[in-house]
């Protein structure tokens, strides 16, 4: 059996390794996505006060500390059985909306965008954000930096720190905002709405305006028929901060909605011998292996999943884009898979980049909505906990998927147990499936591996925006991409390197 190794993966948070095993005919037999898991966090937390968790957990990950901060804060509320005042919830969601704008902007322009704007087969030295701004225009770079700057400013105003927020505590927040700050936040939010619309227009022009890219997006190589998960509000519209978890089947049927605290009724974890990380799946459907279909419990939790799992967006411009998204991408072929001949589900994984931009617009609009809410400057930002702490679950939609924190404490609020299901973990099985499928279709009969070809395999998981581990650990000083090809006896026949 031949073996192709991609190690580590470029532009992927943390470092992972893809191994592709070929059979003697030169076709892909198996593909494995292996990652080093950060270990011992639960044990690290036990014995600490639960109110420390919003500070502690946001250091798990250097990419989305705001998501861990929010999930931990909500879990802290639940542990103390306390309901924060409306203003505290709105301020948290406002911070979170600004975070989404920065995060989705960065992914589109620095990670996903280069594949389309520069092209999947462009030299790797050009397939990055520098290539993007030089091709599309320097002003694009300025807008990206501006969007991030505004997001960071709001996060610091509400979260107290520019990188790792520290103001959420059980029962609410430690500080509110002034009217002067509110005005500034509103002004920045209105700019962010325009920027999100600009980004969607850019996607239209560059991706949807190029038939080759459209074919790539809607082609079978990057499609999977899995279940989808996402948080929705009372109207079943996408919500990042609070709500129930909606699950839809591959044919679009909603099979249920659950309160985050009931997650163990819905989610179970499968173990494979070749990786430390577990594979979450839908308990009611069951684990049937790394396979598509309604009988397989594999689910996905991404921007695309959130749109699939919801009935719409809660803001007007994002709703327009949501409708355009489905009007464009739900194909007649997809409808044939359903009992009723109709569906509202998109399975094309590369469409996740478009879905992310729809969410970007929603986040920006929500930012403005909350900044103009009459209650947002109220001094009522904290409810003092009165009850004995016990156990609680906090859940938010991290940009990379549904994030669940579950804490148990003694009567003093000292942690006795911790369980986390992080965003990307939800997607471990579908990522593995996508890599294998892309590899199977792009490497056949011993086809010579080229840099562009390997990047297209990477594109299969880059759409998920995977974030294993974090930016907060040392990375090995080795090539960002190394390809080892072995013959059927395991001997190395070629080694290819790719630089960022």
Partner 1 sequence: MMEMRSANHCHSTEDGIPKPRILIIGLGNPLLGDDGFGWQVASRVECALQEQSKTIGEGETRSSMVKPTSSAVVEVERLAVGGLRLMEELIGYDAAILIDAITLGQQPVGSLSIHSLESLPTYPIGHLYSAHDTTLQMALQMGRDLVTKLPDTVWVIGVEVVPTFIFSENLTPSVMAAVPCAVQMVLEKLHQMIEEVL
Kindly list the residues in this chain that would bind partner 1 in the complex (CB under 8 A). 8-15, 36-41, 43-44, 56, 59-60, 62-63, 106-107, 110-111, 128-130, 133-134, 138, 141-142, 145, 148-149, 152, 162-164, 467, 469-480, 499-500
Residue 271: exposure state from Cβ atoms within 10 A (0-12, 13-18, ≥19)? exposed
| Cβ nearer to partner 1, comparing 64 with 298 | 64
Rounded least distance, CB 76 to partner 1, Å? 18
| Cβ nearer to partner 1, comparing 139 with 332 | 139
| Cβ nearer to partner 1, comparing 141 with 293 | 141
| Cβ nearer to partner 1, comparing 128 with 315 | 128
Rounded least distance, CB 152 to partner 1, Å? 7
Rounded least distance, CB 227 to partner 1, Å? 27
| Cβ nearer to partner 1, comparing 160 with 293 | 160
Query: Sign of the CA dihedral 304, 306, 312, 316?
Result: negative
Rounded least distance, CB 278 to partner 1, Å? 16
Alpha helices per DSSP H over 330-450 = 332-335, 352-371, 423-426, 428-442
Examine residue 210 and say whether the peptide bond preceding it is cis (omega within 30 degrees of 0).
no
Rounded least distance, CB 469 to partner 1, Å? 7
Contacts of 450 (CB under 8 A, 6+ apart): 121
Query: Is residue 197 helix, strand or coil?
Result: helix
Rounded least distance, CB 26 to partner 1, Å? 30
Instruction: Report the C-alpha gap between 311 and 292 in whole angstroms.
Output: 23
| Cβ nearer to partner 1, comparing 60 with 329 | 60
Rounded least distance, CB 400 to partner 1, Å? 10
| Cβ nearer to partner 1, comparing 18 with 346 | 18
Contacts of 265 (CB under 8 A, 6+ apart): 258, 283
Query: Is residue 458 helix, strand or coil?
Result: helix
Say if CB 495 and CB 485 are below 8 A apart. yes
Rounded least distance, CB 144 to partner 1, Å? 8
Q: Which residues pair with residue 20 across a beta bridge?
A: 4, 31
Q: How many Å is the Cα radius of gyration of the chain?
A: 22
139 phi/psi in degrees, rounded to 5: -65, -25
Rounded least distance, CB 39 to partner 1, Å? 5
Rounded least distance, CB 455 to partner 1, Å? 15
Rounded least distance, CB 471 to partner 1, Å? 5
Tokens of 178: 């002034």
Query: Is residue 81 helix, strand or coil?
Result: coil
Tokens of 335: 């409808």
Instruction: Report the C-alpha gap between 150 and 147 in whole angstroms.
Output: 5
Instruction: Report the C-alpha gap between 385 and 405 in whole angstroms.
Output: 19
Tokens of 265: 């009724």
Rounded least distance, CB 482 to partner 1, Å? 11
| Cα distance from N-terminal residue to C-terminal residue, the chain | 29
Examine residue 8 and say whether the peptide bond preceding it is cis (omega within 30 degrees of 0).
yes
| Cβ nearer to partner 1, comparing 49 with 62 | 62
Place of tokens 């070749």: 274
| Cβ nearer to partner 1, comparing 114 with 297 | 114
| Cβ nearer to partner 1, comparing 81 with 152 | 152
Say if CB 60 and CB 41 are below 8 A apart. yes
Among candidate residues 406, 469, 435, 490, the one with its CA nearest the CA of residue 74: 406
Rounded least distance, CB 427 to partner 1, Å? 16
| Cβ nearer to partner 1, comparing 77 with 359 | 359
Say if CB 144 and CB 191 are below 8 A apart. no
Among candidate residues 394, 397, 396, the one with its CA nearest the CA of residue 355: 397
| Cβ nearer to partner 1, comparing 266 with 461 | 461
| Cβ nearer to partner 1, comparing 147 with 433 | 147
User: C-alpha distances in angstroms, 263 versus 170, 281, 403, 421, 429?
Assistant: 21, 11, 11, 10, 18
């Amino acid at each position: 059996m031949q073996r192709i190794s991609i190690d580590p993966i470029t532009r992927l948070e943390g470092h992972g390794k893809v191994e592709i095993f070929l059979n003697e005919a030169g076709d892909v037999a198996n593909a494995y996505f292996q990652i080093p898991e950060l270990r011992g966090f639960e044990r690290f937390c036990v014995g600490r006060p639960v109110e420390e968790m919003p500070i502690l957990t946001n250091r798990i990950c250097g990419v989305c500390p705001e998501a861990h901060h929010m999930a931990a804060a909500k879990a802290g509320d639940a542990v103390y059985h306390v309901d924060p005042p409306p203003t505290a919830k709105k301020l948290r969601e406002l911070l979170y909306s600004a975070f989404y704008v920065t995060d989705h902007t960065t992914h589109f322009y620095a990670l996903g965008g280069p594949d389309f704007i520069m092209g999947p087969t462009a030299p790797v030295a050009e397939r990055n954000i520098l290539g993007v701004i030089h091709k599309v225009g320097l002003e694009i770079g300025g807008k990206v930096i501006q969007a991030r700057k505004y997001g960071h400013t709001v996060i610091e105003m509400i979260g107290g720190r520019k990188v790792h927020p520290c103001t959420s505590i059980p029962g609410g927040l430690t500080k509110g905002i002034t009217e002067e700050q509110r005005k500034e936040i509103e002004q920045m939010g209105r700019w962010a709405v325009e920027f999100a619309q600009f980004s969607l227009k850019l996607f239209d022009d560059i991706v949807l305006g190029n038939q080759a890219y459209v074919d790539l997006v809607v082609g079978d190589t990057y499609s999977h028929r899995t279940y989808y998960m996402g948080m929705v509000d009372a109207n079943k519209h996408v919500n990042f901060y609070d709500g129930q978890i909606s699950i839809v089947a591959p044919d679009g049927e909603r099979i249920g909605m659950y309160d985050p605290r009931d997650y163990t009724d819905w989610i179970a974890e499968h173990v494979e011998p070749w990786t430390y990380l577990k594979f979450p799946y839908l308990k009611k459907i069951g684990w049937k292996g790394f396979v598509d279909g309604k009988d397989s419990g594999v689910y996905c939790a991404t921007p695309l999943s959130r749109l699939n799992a919801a009935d719409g967006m809660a803001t007007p411009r994002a709703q327009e884009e949501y409708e355009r998204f489905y009007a464009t991408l739900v194909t007649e072929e997809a409808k044939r898979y359903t009992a009723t001949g109709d569906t509202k589900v998109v399975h094309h994984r590369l469409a996740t980049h478009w879905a992310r931009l729809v969410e970007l617009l929603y986040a920006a609009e929500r930012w403005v909505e909350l900044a103009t809410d009459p209650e947002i400057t109220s001094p009522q930002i904290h409810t003092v906990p009165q009850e004995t702490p016990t156990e609680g679950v906090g859940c938010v939609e991290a940009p990379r998927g549904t994030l669940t924190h579950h804490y148990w404490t003694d009567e003093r609020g000292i942690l006795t147990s911790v369980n986390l299901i992080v965003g990307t973990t939800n997607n471990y099985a579908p990522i593995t499936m996508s890599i294998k499928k892309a590899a199977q279709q792009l490497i056949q009969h011993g086809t010579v591996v080229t840099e562009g070809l390997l990047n297209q395999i990477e594109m299969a998981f880059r759409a998920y925006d995977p974030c294993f581990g974090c930016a907060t650990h040392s990375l090995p000083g080795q090539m960002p991409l190394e390809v080892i090809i072995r013959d059927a006896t395991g001997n190395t026949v070629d080694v290819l390197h790719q630089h960022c």
